[in-house]
């Protein structure tokens, strides 16, 4: 059975082949708007699990300084290349691990992003450690926003047929994806809104908001701008238990 290490190499292939960029060519419109609403341009943001930079680069273009943390070498290279090409080199700072981020820069960060399942790829213990590190690196109360897959809508068969043991109440499993002519495994955790709230509370974080990020799949929403606009409108009115991706905003203990 695939392990977290397979997830690492699976993502390397996903980014190296640029299949990720083809599948998700732009940021989720609603998630992006929520970042803009929370912090003003000029602020420092930390994009954790930044992928190929589909949030980091447009945010830097808007005038934010972005700390992009991404463990895939191929994805980090793509972020750095795009930043250089667009004249944003000084606005995007890439690191492999959260622990590698320069302490002074990290202390300036006003908001951390964990968009599109980054938290779900981590094990329970990794999530606990990541939240502790975010809190420790912050100069005051840390604010984190992000999104995870909704267990009511997704991975029904994987939860039963490809279950992995883990701590916590949210189910962990392997899903597969065809890339480069081969089957790749990804370890993942999906949540109900209640499980998400309970896990953050367990780790001592205040759950400020849990709501819908998208109703349709991220692929549809980010590949077709008309669907993207419509989904953002519908998502604002849809309770999180019916979402495709659940959006969260959490705050660390004071």
Q: Which residues of 78-99 are buried (b: 16+ CB within 10 A; e: fewer)?
A: bbbebbeeeebeebbbbbeebe
Q: Considering the rule CB under 6 A, would residue 247 count as an interface residue with ligand SAM?
A: no
Site string for ligand SAM, 19-48 (x = CB under 6 A): -----x------------------------
- Among the listed ranges 3-11, 37-45, 87-95, 131-139, the one in contact with ligand SAM (CB under 6 A) is 3-11
CB of 49 to ligand SAM, least distance (A): 3
The reply to whether 248 sits near ligand SAM by the rule CB under 6 A is no
Closest listed residue to residue 236, CA positions, set 220, 212, 218, 204: 212
The long-range contacts involving 164-171, CB below 8 angstroms and separated by at least 24 positions, are 164/1, 166/123, 166/124, 167/123, 167/124, 167/125, 168/124, 168/195, 168/199, 168/202, 169/195, 169/198, 169/199, 170/195, 170/196, 170/199
7 near ligand SAM (CB under 6 A): yes
Q: Using CA atoms, how far apart are residues 60 and 73, in angstroms rounded to an integer?
A: 20
Residue 117 as a binder of ligand SAM (CB under 6 A): the answer is yes
The answer to the question of residue 184 lying near ligand SAM (CB under 6 A) is no
Site membership for ligand SAM, residue 222 (CB under 6 A): no
Pick from 126, 183, 202, 253: which binds ligand SAM (CB under 6 A)? 126
Cβ contacts of 116 within 8 Å, gap of 6 or more: 24, 28, 31, 51, 146, 147, 218, 245
Should residue 91 be labelled a site residue for ligand SAM when binding is judged by CB under 6 A?
no
Note whether 121 binds ligand SAM by CB under 6 A. yes
Chain-centroid distance, C-alpha 196: 14
The answer to the question of residue 70 lying near ligand SAM (CB under 6 A) is: yes
> Measured from the CB atom, is 115 or 247 closer to ligand SAM?
115
User: Which residues bind to ligand SAM, rule: CB under 6 A?
Assistant: 4, 7, 11, 24, 49-51, 54-55, 70-72, 75, 115-118, 121-122, 126
């Amino acid at each position: 059975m695939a392990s977290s290490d397979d997830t690492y190499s699976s993502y390397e292939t996903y980014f190296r082949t640029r299949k990720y960029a083809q599948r998700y060519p732009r940021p989720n419109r609603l998630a992006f708007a929520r970042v803009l609403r929370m912090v003003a341009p000029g602020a420092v943001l930390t994009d954790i699990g930044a992928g190929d930079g589909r949030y980091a680069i447009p945010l830097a273009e808007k005038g934010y300084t972005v700390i992009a943390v991404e463990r895939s070498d191929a994805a980090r290279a793509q972020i750095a290349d795009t930043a250089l090409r667009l004249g944003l080199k000084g606005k995007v700072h890439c690191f492999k691990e959260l622990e590698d981020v320069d302490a002074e820069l990290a202390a300036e960060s006003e908001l951390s992003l964990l968009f599109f399942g980054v938290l779900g790829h981590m094990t329970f213990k990794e999530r606990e450690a990541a939240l502790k590190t975010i809190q420790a690196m912050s100069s005051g109360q840390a604010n984190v926003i992000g999104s995870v897959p909704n267990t009511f809508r997704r991975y029904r068969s994987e939860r039963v047929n490809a279950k992995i043991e883990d701590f916590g109440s949210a189910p962990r499993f392997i899903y597969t994806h065809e890339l480069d002519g081969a089957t790749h495994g990804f370890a993942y955790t999906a949540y109900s809104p209640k499980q998400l709230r309970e896990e953050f509370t367990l780790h001592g974080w205040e759950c400020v908001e849990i709501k819908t990020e998208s109703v349709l799949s991220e692929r549809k929403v980010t590949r077709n701008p008309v669907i993207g606009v419509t989904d953002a409108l519908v998502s604002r009115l849809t309770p999180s238990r019916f979402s495709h991706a659940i959006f969260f905003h959490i705050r660390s203990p004071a």
